[in-house]
Structure 1
Amino acid sequence: MKKLLWIIVAILLLATFSDHPVLLPYKQKLYAKFTDTTHNASKVKAEQALQTLASRLQEFGATLGKGQQTELQKASSSKAAVLEFQQAYCIDKQFHPLFYGEPIGKVCTIIQDLSNGL
């Protein structure tokens, strides 16, 4: 197991510090594969965070009125809508005609808890 680890480290060091024309195409393919993998993983994480946010807002909205539930669904429909809602009502503290007092505080807390994943 230790030998395998050293072989992997040696290959990664060679790929990192070598710009030899023979190795360059393989190095670029390797980096492209890592980039694609990490990009897809972060994209999936953002989608999962948005779904979790929508479900938590829906659970909270069950205790509220119909108009407030509709507004929560609209606010959690996309990443841009969530960030816009957070900026306007949680950070800038603008008045929201449907949410004021305790409900806006809870909505902002839910968004804040999951905003790192977006």
Structure 2
Amino acid sequence: MKKFFWIAVIFLLVLTFSDHELIRPYKEQVYNLIMDKASKASDSNEAALRHVKKELMAAAENWGEGPRSQLEKATSSLDSVLRFHKNYCVNGDFNPIIYGEPLKQSCVILNNQHHNLTKP
């Protein structure tokens, strides 16, 4: 019983000080890890969508605000990701915001995950 009490106290202390600058990055990493594992267990399409969004946002960090906001909008749902892939990667339509190398990199990421996104 004493061990449980100390574990509960430590857990409550961590929750209390979880917004501190030293703890916040680790808390966010644990939260993202738990969300990834939970989405993989629940729905493979949702896990693939989270993975695509994570990869695209990592690639878009040095592309600027316009392409980043366009990709955030495109990865908001599974349908919008598939529509973006079809329009710009398969059909080759012109995108005035994302073009050139950023569009090629986005299409490579989407092509790698396309099978997981379209699983029934």
Q: Same fold (TM over 0.5)?
A: yes
Specify the code of the residue in structure 2 equivalent to 1:78: S
Q: Which 4+ runs in 1 deviate beyond 6 A?
A: none
Cα distance in structure 1, aligned partners of 2:111 and 2:56: 12
What is the TM-score when the length of structure 1 is the normalising length?
0.62
SS in 1 for 2:46: helix
Aligned in 2, Cα 1:91/1:43: closer, same or farther, shift over 3 Å? farther
Cα distance in structure 1, aligned partners of 2:105 and 2:41: 27
SS in 1 for 2:62: coil
| Unaligned segments of structure 1, at least 5 residues | 1-40
Q: Deviation digits for residues 3-47 of structure 1, max 9, x if unmatched?
A: xxxxxxxxxxxxxxxxxxxxxxxxxxxxxxxxxxxxxx8961111
Cα distance in structure 1, aligned partners of 2:68 and 2:98: 11
Cα distance in structure 1, aligned partners of 2:43 and 2:92: 31
Q: Deviation digits for residues 49-86 of structure 1, max 9, x if unmatched?
A: 00000000100110111111000001111110001001
How many equivalent pairs are there?
Answer: 78
Cα distance in structure 1, aligned partners of 2:68 and 2:87: 18
The residue number in structure 1 matching 2:59 is: 60
Cα distance in structure 2, aligned partners of 1:49 and 1:98: 24
Cα distance in structure 1, aligned partners of 2:72 and 2:93: 19
* Percent of residue pairs bearing the same amino acid type: 32
Q: Which has the larger radius of gyration?
A: 1
The residue number in structure 2 matching 1:47 is: 46
The residue number in structure 1 matching 2:109 is: 110
Shift of 1:113: 0.5
Shift of 1:97: 0.4
Cα distance in structure 2, aligned partners of 1:66 and 1:55: 16
| Unaligned segments of structure 2, at least 5 residues | 1-39
Cα distance in structure 2, aligned partners of 1:55 and 1:106: 14
